[in-house]
Structure 1
Amino acid sequence: MTTAQRPYRGVFPVAPTVFDAAGALDLHGQRRAIDFMIDAGAEGLCILANFSEQFALSDVERDTVMDTVLDHVAGRVPVIVTTTHFATRICAERSRRAQAAGAAMVMVMPPYHGATIRVPDLGIYDFFRAVSDAIAIPIMIQDAPVAGTPLSPALLARMAREIENVAYFKIETAGAAGKLRALIALGGAAVEGPWDGEEAITLMADLDAGATGSMTGGAYPDGIRQITDAYAAGRREDAMDAYARWLPLINYENRQCGLLACKALMRAGGVIAHETARLPVQPMDPETRAGLIEIARRLDPLVLSWSR
């Protein structure tokens, strides 16, 4: 069992789902990626998120990845399992499975489908209430543009106050810092974990707004820790300096590479054998990849030397 205690805080990067050259699950590579991330300072992990290509996995593959990772982590750090699904019943069942397998928390997006199918506030409230009723571990609501679902600070705070296990919030929308401040003001102690996301591109503003955790890409938790550790210790100027150093790489990941950045850096450093993304996701443009590696090398992240 992990010794980490609630509230969970710090850097909980998203682990990629590792594939072989043909696009099948590479469980050996998956375990190496997890070991690297823990060695690089991840205070927890998130699996099966959008940056894990969860949308490209079958239900059987999801369970395989979840069981493999949780067994391999063996309590070294807390693991958040993403259980997002449009259907309340399926999301609740996925969440029960995650809890039974050893997840510390589940992360769930509000129900949506495609570009136009959205659920109103009442449906969102009832959805999260039903998922909460199915489990006894915390729920992190992921508030991200991909859902296209407006989640007001008032609605989020109400769910924190009234739904037992809704306690963590990953805010990735535009103006995240302002939304975090409003959520904390409205929700008070019920907001156990106001968190930052979006590869940490808005991390300093979000820390100043009260964020206590950050869910980033998986390639350089050691770099993100330089920011969050200094901030938590009250050394804001040191945190600002570290943020300025790492921001070009964060920006390159966020704006140029997306979910492909983590695998490219892990492959460049020999952590994993292949950086395959499952089709129809296309490989990264070679020149873009070269630019990513060039910027990373200036910072000497552990990912580029871990396997040596």
Structure 2
Amino acid sequence: MSPVVSSSGKKESTVARLLGSGSAGIAELAVFHPVDTVAKRLMGNSTKIHNAAEFNAVIFKNYASASFGKKFFSLFPGLGYAAGYKVLQRIYKYGGQPFARDYLTTHHAPTFENAFGKGTGKAIMAATAGSLIGIGEIVLLPLDVLKIKRQTNPEAFKGRGLFKIVADEGFGLYRGWQWTAARNAPGSFALFGGSAAAKQFIFHLEDYNSASWYQNFIASICGASASLVVSAPLDVIKTRIQMRNFENPESGFKIIANMAKNEGPTAFFKGLTPKLLMTGPKLVFSFWLAQTLIVSISAGIG
């Protein structure tokens, strides 16, 4: 395929965008799936943890008193669903945002520049493109639902396979899509906007694609950290909706009311510290790798 000129400056090919983002998703899954399981189980836990034994019970569930090896491998549930979801999600998100950004650059760049100034406008445009792509990510929600249920509530499957669950549940697999969209819009805005702002204002780059691997790494840290903090409350609500048994769903508003009543306002940020320490590096790794590979593959094809 022919290359496209991105608003970042250098040419990026469509093939490079797809291959770079897909490779980042595969690498992220291979390295960080256990970390993601730990974060999801902490977010889904509605009780206070007082000691190591309770912590082990939350993280390892039925394997809390098992050997180290069994504990470790218990953190890999839902790997098949995770593979399908994560690779498609990274291709869609990291590969799709540049296309949305190019569209905004072609048709709306003067609007952003007049409103925010040239440099800030370019960063806001990248953030807006990310937000639009993040909202559309709900098409992949069923795979995310199945992955999270496998990680946090495997009893919900009751021996049913993938096709049986899809046939039984239908559009019920999209339960909580509004909360997912509400979480993805600001989260993706902060991810791409934070990265673009770092390149614009820390490294003073006119051409974002000229960033070195180190500059991409720092920019990814800024974007990922901002994204996790901004999306934390809605991410907790989304996770709790998705981990419920299929036959016993609960609305997001009811979850909010119960959390506020029984757990207090800090409950909406449960798992944030582990996410920053564990999920943060995962997001930084995949985002950095995707940005680096897209430019490298484009250069190789060119």
Same fold (TM over 0.5): no
Could you say which structure has the larger radius of gyration?
2
| TM, length-normalised to structure 2 | 0.25
The structure whose residues are more often helix, as a share, is: 2
Task: Report 1 or 2 for greater relative contact order, CA contacts < 8 Å, sequence distance ≥ 6.
Answer: 2
The structure whose residues are more often strand, as a share, is: 1
